[in-house]
Structure 1
Amino acid sequence: MSDIQTKTAPRMKINIGISEKNRKAIADELSKVLADSYMLYLKTHNYHWNVTGELFHSLHEQFEHQYTELADAIDEIAERIRALGYRAPGTFKEFHQLTSIEEDTEEPEALEMVRRLALGNEQVLRTAREALKPANEAEDEATIDLLTERLKVHSKTAWMLRSHLE
């Protein structure tokens, strides 16, 4: 084995203007946002596949738009955690431990799917608001921007879903 293969580079210290304590607090909260977003993604994708009834076409398309947007968001959230210097959770076990969104144990009807997705989006909103606290304290504009976008998207999505139920 050559010297290149046996040696590892020293770990570079992160110096982005945010203390390690604050980066850890932000990464911990973002991990919860990531877990909730991933669980909502799974639920939305499941409903996209399994919705039936007279609302099938419109809900099938709406759910596809929502899970596609969530897939992009999940990547951004994970990359922000990495940029802060921490490992992004990425296993079902980790997501299950971190999420506040429950998995379905049965197959709901179309409007119940809509209701559950509205509730899931509202939960992501609450989780993201909690994550804003350490980001604001640390003046971490990049995380604040990411979370503000998530608040905007999930607020609109929850409203659109609730509108089906009125």
Structure 2
Amino acid sequence: MSAQAINIGINESDRLDIATGLSRLLADSYTLYLKTHYYHWNVTGPMFNTLHLMFETQYNELALAVDLIAERIRALGVYAPGTYLEFAKLTVIAEDTDVPKAQEMIKNLVAGQEAVVRTARSLFSVVEKANDEASADLLTQRIQLHEKTAWMLRSLLE
């Protein structure tokens, strides 16, 4: 028995292109989740309590976001990546090789948040061409949240 064809008003080529882009967004988001969780566990210094709680809020939000992104990829008829190996190939966010000081953690997370924004923003041309409003809505929400989070983190550096 063959799988039923997907007929959601987006042709297969566009669905594959969108899913490929969303896979990069998923990898960036999951890598940022890992980095934020790592910092939550290991932050020290006078801003410990503030950063510990802030990082927890951020990684919890990212944990929910990766599920939404992966489910959108599946709705487009493509399997979502889900291994460290796949994410490492797809992400632009670098892993840490040590435990940075709190200020460096904040700077790294600003860069990570902004990287996710750039990845999300880069997908709009294919999403709009395909009239994929659901993916466009997801991207808009991700951009808005990551831009706000980057601003809040940057504010700690002033």
Length-normalised TM-score, structure 1: 0.94
> How far, CA to CA, are the matches of 1:105 and 1:64 in structure 2?
21
Pick the aligned partner of 1:81 from 61, 73, 80: 73
Q: Name the % identity.
A: 59
Q: Residue type matched to 1:87 in 2? A: Y
Q: 1:41-67, CA deviations, whole angstroms, 9 ceiling, x for partnerless residues?
A: 000000000000100000000000000
Structure 1 residue 10, shift from structure 2 partner: 2.1
For residues 101-152 of structure 1, what are the alpha-carbon distances to aligned partners after superposition, in whole Å with 9 as ceiling and x for unaligned? 0000111000110000000000000000112221111110000000000000
Name the counterpart of 2:94.
Answer: 102
> 2:13: which partner in 1?
21
Alignment partner for residue 130 of structure 2, among 135, 138, 146?
Answer: 138
Question: What is the alpha-carbon distance in structure 2 between the residues aligned to residue 94 and residue 132 of structure 1?
Answer: 23
| Equivalent in the alignment of 2:40 | 48
Q: Distance in 1 between matches of 2:134 and 2:24?
A: 17
In structure 2, what is the Cα distance between the partners aligned to 1:14 and 1:162?
43
Indicate the SS of the match to 1:10: coil
The one-letter code of the counterpart of 1:71 is: A
Match of 1:160 in 2: 152
Letter in structure 2 aligned against 1:93: L
Deviation >2 Å, runs of 4+: none
CA–CA separation in structure 2 for the residues paired with 1:56 and 1:128? 31
CA-CA distance at 1:23 after TM superposition: 0.3
Cα RMSD (Å) of the superposition?
Answer: 0.6
Distance 1:145 1:15 in 2: 20
Which 5+ residue runs of structure 2 have no aligned equivalent? none
Secondary structure of the corresponding residue to residue 70 of structure 2: helix
SS at match of 2:61: helix
- Inter-partner Cα distance in structure 2 for 1:162 and 1:110: 13
Amino acid corresponding to residue 108 of structure 2 in structure 1 = R
Larger Rg: 1
